[in-house]
């Protein structure tokens, strides 16, 4: 006896939604919990939304239990309020296009279908609001970004209520080996599948035939390999991945250099505010080859603000980079305003670019270096303390981290990322301005 009768033969299906082949495999499954681990834009949410609507419509048609109020109750759970809003828009749009009568409460993100079924959009960052009712269907979107407690303590119990269907659709791109991975493994067990308890699916982005192959190739080229594997190929990356370790043996082979006239330099500064090092990296850019050499650096610890500032100004005055990208942590950052003031006074023509770190753009400081190392476009001085920091950096499936403890720092890695960031922002502009000069090096 099947648990649901998802109905892909709805009258308007050609107009509304034509599942692509691997989406179809997902819809066909009769498992009560379906785990959909796929690459970005494979169509996880589209498939989840449609499966939810079909299930609700089937229940409305086939259920007649006056004790249930509402007749059908469903949740769409997203990691954040914003991701939930997107689901709300899509649910709204698709129910409309299917000609289903709905009533909305935009304020609470509740959609009522035919006055008898309720879909509530929930954000997992308010776990208090995830308590309570018995549910017929739950979709959890981007589940890897949601804490395991949300599933195990808040949501799963709601799926075991008398008279309710209790069906779960859990979709996500993989992010390391977390609770989603456990669910995925459970869903691979043929026994579980046979009993209709849980089934999991794993497809890469390119199984969505609507995504042009060129787009996949572009992403393969522009993403660090471990990120492509995770986000597009939808692989669970194994253990923590020390992303720079291999390069410390092959790409840290330069000897310290002195400034050369007409050479182009860029700098990056990561301030050590409390216990960290202040790190400065100076990189030389060879335009014809598009290669970067880190030619000098500073790693300062346990110093007074004035001394840190002085040493930073000194190394910048020595190399006269086109720009120095400096990390800031507030609009009126004292380190930033001071370095800017000092460099202006000295009239060195060095542009100071502020970089306000967020979780997202911090990632890009590491990404850009992984790509340049992999292309043999970035080389470092053979400095043991620097290699040690690079060896500390790992990808945990969600973000870049560094090992903790006495030697656990990544300041020089961040400083180099800032220098590269500034360089990549400006190099096309520089190249255009005097395209002849580049062949002199």
Can you give the binding site for ligand ADP, defined by CB under 6 A? 17-20, 23, 38, 40-46, 208, 210
At residue 254, what are phi and psi to the nearest 5 degrees? -85, 160
Q: Which of 33, 71, 27 is nearest to 50 (CA)?
A: 27
Single residue of 34, 42, 45, 151 touching Mg ion by CB under 5 A: 45
Given the complex with ligand ADP, which of 20 and 193 has the nearer CB atom? 20
Q: Is the dihedral of CA 237, 239, 240, 245 positive or negative?
A: negative
Q: What is the C-alpha to C-alpha distance for residues 299 and 295, in angstroms, rounded to an integer?
A: 14
Q: What is the C-alpha to C-alpha distance for residues 243 and 233, in angstroms, rounded to an integer?
A: 18
Prior bond to 197 cis, omega within 30?
A: no
With CB cut-offs between 5 and 8 Å by kind, which of ligand ADP, Mg ion, none does residue 266 bind?
A: none
Q: Given the rule CB under 5 A, which of 37-45, 131-139, 258-266, 408-416 is the region that contacts Mg ion?
A: 37-45
With CB cut-offs between 5 and 8 Å by kind, which of Mg ion, ligand ADP, none does residue 43 bind?
A: ligand ADP
Query: Residue 392, CB half-sphere, CA atoms under 13 Å: how many?
Result: 20
With CB cut-offs between 5 and 8 Å by kind, which of ligand ADP, Mg ion, none does residue 20 bind?
A: ligand ADP
End-to-end CA distance of the chain: 75
Q: What is the C-alpha to C-alpha distance for residues 435 and 384, in angstroms, rounded to an integer?
A: 37
Given the complex with Mg ion, which of 89 and 301 has the nearer CB atom? 89
Q: Given the rule CB under 5 A, which of 22-30, 39-47, 255-263, 377-385 is the region that contacts Mg ion?
A: 39-47
With CB cut-offs between 5 and 8 Å by kind, which of Mg ion, ligand ADP, none does residue 1 bind?
A: none
Given the complex with ligand ADP, which of 208 and 392 has the nearer CB atom? 208
Helix (H) / strand (E) containing 314: helix 305-319
For residue 215, the minimal CB distance to Mg ion (Å) is 16
Q: What 3-state DSSP class applies to 352? A: strand
Write out the DSSP string of 65-79. -TT-SSSEEEEEEES
With CB cut-offs between 5 and 8 Å by kind, which of Mg ion, ligand ADP, none does residue 33 bind?
A: none
Given the complex with ligand ADP, which of 41 and 391 has the nearer CB atom? 41
For residue 98, the minimal CB distance to ligand ADP (Å) is 14
Given the complex with ligand ADP, which of 18 and 133 has the nearer CB atom? 18
Neighbours of 80 (CB within 10 A): 15
Q: What is the C-alpha to C-alpha distance for residues 75 and 122, in angstroms, rounded to an integer?
A: 7
For residue 265, the minimal CB distance to ligand ADP (Å) is 41
Per DSSP bridges, beta strands 167-172 and 110-113 are: unpaired
When asked if residue 410 is in the footprint of Mg ion (CB under 5 A), the reply is no
3-class SS shares of the chain: helix, strand, coil, % to 5? 40, 20, 35
For residue 337, the minimal CB distance to Mg ion (Å) is 41
With CB cut-offs between 5 and 8 Å by kind, which of ligand ADP, Mg ion, none does residue 46 bind?
A: ligand ADP
Given the complex with ligand ADP, which of 38 and 243 has the nearer CB atom? 38
Q: Which of 373, 380, 376 is nearest to 412 (CA)?
A: 380
With CB cut-offs between 5 and 8 Å by kind, which of Mg ion, ligand ADP, none does residue 40 bind?
A: ligand ADP
Looking at beta carbons, which residue is closest to ligand ADP? 43
For residue 15, the minimal CB distance to ligand ADP (Å) is 11
When asked if residue 51 is in the footprint of Mg ion (CB under 5 A), the reply is no
For residue 376, the minimal CB distance to ligand ADP (Å) is 33
Q: What 3-state DSSP class applies to 294? A: strand
- Length, in residues, of the chain: 441
With CB cut-offs between 5 and 8 Å by kind, which of Mg ion, ligand ADP, none does residue 41 bind?
A: ligand ADP
What does the binding site for Mg ion look like in residue numbers (CB under 5 A)? 45
């Amino acid at each position: 006896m099947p648990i649901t009768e998802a109905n892909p033969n709805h009258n308007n299906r050609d107009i509304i939604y034509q599942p692509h082949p691997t989406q179809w495999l997902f819809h066909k499954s009769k498992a009560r919990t379906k785990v959909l681990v796929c690459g970005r834009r494979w169509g996880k949410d589209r498939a989840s939304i449609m499966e939810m609507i079909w299930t609700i419509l089937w229940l409305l048609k086939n259920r007649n239990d006056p004790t249930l109020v509402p007749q059908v109750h469903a949740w769409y759970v997203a990691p954040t309020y914003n991701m939930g809003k997107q689901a709300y828009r899509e649910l709204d749009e698709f129910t409309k296009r299917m000609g289903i009568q709905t009533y909305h409460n935009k304020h609470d993100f509740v959609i009522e279908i035919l006055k008898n079924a309720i879909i509530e959009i929930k954000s997992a960052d308010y776990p208090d609001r995830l308590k309570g009712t018995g549910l017929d269907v739950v979709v959890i979107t981007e589940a890897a970004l949601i804490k395991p407690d949300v599933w195990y303590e808040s949501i799963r119990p709601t799926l075991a209520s008398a008279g309710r269907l209790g069906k779960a659709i859990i979709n996500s791109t993989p992010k390391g080996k977390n609770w989603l991975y456990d669910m995925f493994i459970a869903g691979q067990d043929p026994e579980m599948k046979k009993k209709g308890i849980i089934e999991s699916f794993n497809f890469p982005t390119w199984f969505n035939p609507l995504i042009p192959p060129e787009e996949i190739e572009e992403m393969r080229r522009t993403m660090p390999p471990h990120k492509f594997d995770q986000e597009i190929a939808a692989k669970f990356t194994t253990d923590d991945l020390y992303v720079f370790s291999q390069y410390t043996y092959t790409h840290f082979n330069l000897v310290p250099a002195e400034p050369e006239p007409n050479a182009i330099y860029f700098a990056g500064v990561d301030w050590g505010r409390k216990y960290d090092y202040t790190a400065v990296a100076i990189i030389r850019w060879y335009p014809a080859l598009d290669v970067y050499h880190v030619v000098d650096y500073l790693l300062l610890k346990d110093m007074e603000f004035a001394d840190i500032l002085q040493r930073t100004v000194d190394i910048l005055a020595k190399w006269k980079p086109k720009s120095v990208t400096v990390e800031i942590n507030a609009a009126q950052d004292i380190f930033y305003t001071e370095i800017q003031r000092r460099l202006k006074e000295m009239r060195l023509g060095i542009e100071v670019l502020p970089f306000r770190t967020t979780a997202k753009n911090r990632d890009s400081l590491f990404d850009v270096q992984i790509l340049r190392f992999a292309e043999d476009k970035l080389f470092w001085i053979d400095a043991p303390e620097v290699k040690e920091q690079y060896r500390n950096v790992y990808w945990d499936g969600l973000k870049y981290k560094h090992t903790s403890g006495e030697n656990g720092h990544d300041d020089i890695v961040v400083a180099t990322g800032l220098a590269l960031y500034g360089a990549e922002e400006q190099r096309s502009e520089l190249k255009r301005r005097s395209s002849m000069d580049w062949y002199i090096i």
